[in-house]
Structure 1
Amino acid sequence: MFFDSLKSRFVLALGACVITASAAAAEFPTRDIRLIVPWPAGGGADAISRKISNIAEQELPKSIYVENIAGAVTATGLIQMTSARPDGQTVGVLTYDSVITLPRGQMVPGYSLDNMALIARITSEADAIVVSKHTGIETFEELIERAKENPGEVRLGVAPKGSGPYLSAMQLEKLLDVDFNVITYAGSSSAEAEALLSGELDAAISSLGDFSGIIESGDAKGVIELSSVQNKTYTDVPTIKSKGHDLQTGSFIILAAPANTPDDAVATLESSFKAAYDTEEFQTWLAQVGVTADWLGSDGVEAWIDELQAKTFSLMDELEL
């Protein structure tokens, strides 16, 4: 009798746990979701993250709020994300540096993609060269001609060593036999945009979307996109493939949660952001800023990252970076 009573209590307790866990999953999220953007406010990654989260929260019972935590080439914010409770209430934004620069250099103790549950890739953006109106340069050919005539004098702004734009600059110098004065800027592309406006830089490398504001104002002009596919928004900016060169680099936006986040929570986040991604509002907005919509769900992101790392690390070995 004692054992029968004990067994009954155990079954009831187990059932209660299952019901409680199911209820918790069904109620997710239980509070506003924190979306950590590891770059300062004002850059392309920040703008995209804010736009899609504003739409995605319409699919959820709670809001999504963005918190900018910059530093250590995205590691500061993302380590805070991976250190959060793995309940789906904290999400982080990964860019090129999060996937390539940091793992390659192993520069920040405690940072690892293994500490993350990947949710989805939202966009991909080719790098491009944008010139300041102060230079009077109108075309890619004029930029290269000036660089050849003035070795080491054309000031080209890029993200820190090891970043995608930095790699692009190194490849361009080798490919075209030119010598730029390469100047690195920590933080988001907004710093480079300000330097282009002030005349501190002659040119800079990042996506056209990152520089959309100063391009639209006429303070800067895109002269080449490092891609083989013509940008549907900036149709006046030629691809480097059209100039007879094969060079493709760029960045992307990936969403991730802490490792061990429940599958149900990851699925809810993925479906909410996919619904936002599919809206006409988000697609139209991306086109307006010149960013390519490029969704890849949780079932394919990890394999894509593995392939990208293998290709990029091999290139870095060739350039001895």
Structure 2
Amino acid sequence: MNRKDFVRLAMGALCAVALPPAHAQAYPDKAIRFVVPWPAGGAADAVGRLVAQALTTQLGQAVYVENIAGAGGNIGTSQFVRAKPDGYTLYLATSSTNAASPHLYKRTGFEPVKDFTPVASVAAIPSILVVPAASPFKTPRDVIEAAKAKPGKLSYGSGGVGASAHLAGELFKSVAGIDVIHVPYKGSGPAISDVMAGQLSYMFDTGAVPYIRGGKVRALAVAADKRLPLFPEVPTFAELGIKGMQMNAWYGIAAPAGTPAPVVTRVNAAINSALASGELPKQLANIGAEVRTGTPAEFSRFWNAELKRYETLVKLTGATLD
């Protein structure tokens, strides 16, 4: 081999090392599927659609939502984890499915850590105790007194076993020492509809903002450490002397395990940019959500800590495995 050929080969090798993989250079060059493992009409769906819209703008490619509901988010999630890890299938991770379900279900269809690549935190929404607009209950104490007067007669709804509304409801039962019936639905949308219709006594919901504003349900208390700016007149449980009632639902973006790091970095940068300014923070605030940002590593640490926290919470509430 002469000197010129040697130099040419050496330069080619250096370029091959220096250039990022083709998928990182081109990504994204087609539409991205965004799996939301909950039905339309609830808080998860609302957050998912806002995130998809923001990512569409940031990435320059269509990001479309696919709702795959059922079994507390487990059906859609078990399908998602089998997707090709190329960045063209993303997922809305939630506290219900990704922190609570592993402790509630004997079989979820996925491994809670190793089947995912954490990408980014997005937001958290505190649970609000709501009752039908025509309900005689004016405060959480009214609910507690009625439940103690007639054990097993009141009912509360949730978006399914393991949903944040379910755990909030079970926590309320534990804290208040009451016996009420849990009625699970395939998503919080159908559940809140039955609250509005008076078929359920109450519900803890993270997606109730439009129904409260529309006068279709009445908010009694917020399961948070401070009042919501949207409803400054609604007290926290702590203000009412009911201790231990703090519950929110968190949301983030995940990819299948094995997704290339450059793709994860690209999506993380896109969502953090959208959360830093523009319409997305306003839109999230408008549904009662608090923005959360960070690196993939920070989201991973948070996710793992939440798995441990929810294990304790599930044991405390006595929520059953289905």
User: Do they superpose with TM above 0.5?
Assistant: yes
Q: Matched residues in 1 for 2:109 and 2:281: separation?
A: 38
Q: What is the CA distance between 1:230 and its match in structure 2? A: 1.6
Deviation at 1:202, TM superposition (A): 1.8
SS of residue matched to 1:83:
coil
- What residue in structure 1 maps to residue 46 of structure 2? 47
TM superposition score normalised by structure 1: 0.89
- Which letter does structure 1 place at the counterpart of 2:291? A
Q: What aligned pairs does 1:199-214 form with structure 2 within 5 A after superposition?
A: 199-207=198-206, 210-214=207-211
Output one character per residue of 1:142-178: Cα deviation in whole Å (capped at 9) or x when no partner.
2222222222222211243444332322332232232
Number of corresponding residues: 317
Contact 2:78–2:109 under 8 Å retained in 1: no
Residue 255 of structure 1 pairs with residue 253 of structure 2: yes
Quote the RMSD (CA, aligned, Å): 2.5
In the alignment, what sits opposite 1:127? 127
TM-score by length of 2: 0.89
CA contact (8 A) 1:230 1:238 kept: yes
Equivalent residue in structure 2 for 1:233, among 224, 230, 234: 230
Q: Which one-letter code corresponds to 1:30 in the other structure?
A: D
Q: Is the 8 A contact 2:272 2:294 kept in 1?
A: no
Aligned to 2:160, the other structure's residue is in SS state coil
1:218 lines up with 2:218 in the alignment:
no
Whether the 8 Å contact between 2:97 and 2:162 is mirrored in structure 1 is no
Q: Distance in 1 between matches of 2:30 and 2:113?
A: 26
Q: Aligned partners of 1:221, 1:82: CA distance in 2, in Å?
A: 39
1:22-44 deviation digits (Å, cap 9, x = unpaired)? 44312211211111111112211
Shift of 1:68: 1.1
Partner of 2:34: 35
Matched residue SS, 1:114: coil
Question: Which aligned segments of 4 or more residues in structure 1 are displaced greater than 4 angstroms?
Answer: 2-21
1:171-320 alignment runs, 5 A limit? 171-185=171-185, 187-207=186-206, 210-244=207-241, 245-320=243-318
**Structure 2 counterpart SS, 1:199:** coil
Q: Which amino acid aligns with 1:311?
A: R
Distance in 2, matches of 1:165 and 1:91, equals 24
What is the Cα deviation at residue 111 of structure 1?
4.0
> Matched residue of 1:80: which SS?
helix
Gaps of 5+ in 1: none
Q: Alpha-carbon deviations, 1:62-117, whole Å to 9, x = none?
A: 22111111123222222332222211111001112222233223412344331111
Question: What residue identity is the alignment partner of 2:263?
Answer: A
Contact 1:57–1:272, Cα closer than 8 Å, also in 2 = no
Name the CA distance, whole Å, in 2 between partners of 1:189 and 1:103.
Answer: 20
Distance 2:162 2:37 in 1: 17
Aligned position for 1:147: 147
Match of 1:77 in 2: 76
For the residue of structure 1 that corresponds to 2:114, the secondary structure is: helix
In the superposition, relative to structure 1, how do residues 319 and 69 fare at CA in structure 2: closer, same or farther (>3 Å)?
A: closer
Q: Using the TM superposition, name which of 102-111 and 61-70 deviates more.
A: 102-111
Structure 1 residues 112 and 176: alpha-carbon distance in aligned structure 2, compared to 1, 3 A threshold: closer
Any unmatched runs of 5+ in structure 2? none
Superposed displacement of residue 17, structure 1: 5.2
Residues 56, 275 of structure 1: 8 Å contact kept: no
Deviation of 1:131 after TM superposition, in Å, equals 0.3
1:4 Cα deviation (Å)? 9.5
Residue 15 of structure 1: how far off its partner (Å): 5.8
Letter paired with 1:75: N
1-side partners of 2:143 and 2:28: how far apart? 51
Counterpart residue identity of residue 142, structure 2: E
Task: Report if aligned partners of 2:74, 2:108 keep a CA contact under 8 Å in 1.
Answer: yes
Q: Secondary structure of 1:179's match?
A: coil
Whether the 8 Å CA contact 1:38–1:69 is kept in 2: the answer is yes
Q: How many Å separate the matches in 1 of 2:175 and 2:76?
A: 35
Counterpart residue identity of residue 193, structure 1: I
SS at match of 1:165: helix
8 A contact 2:169–2:203 mirrored in 1: no
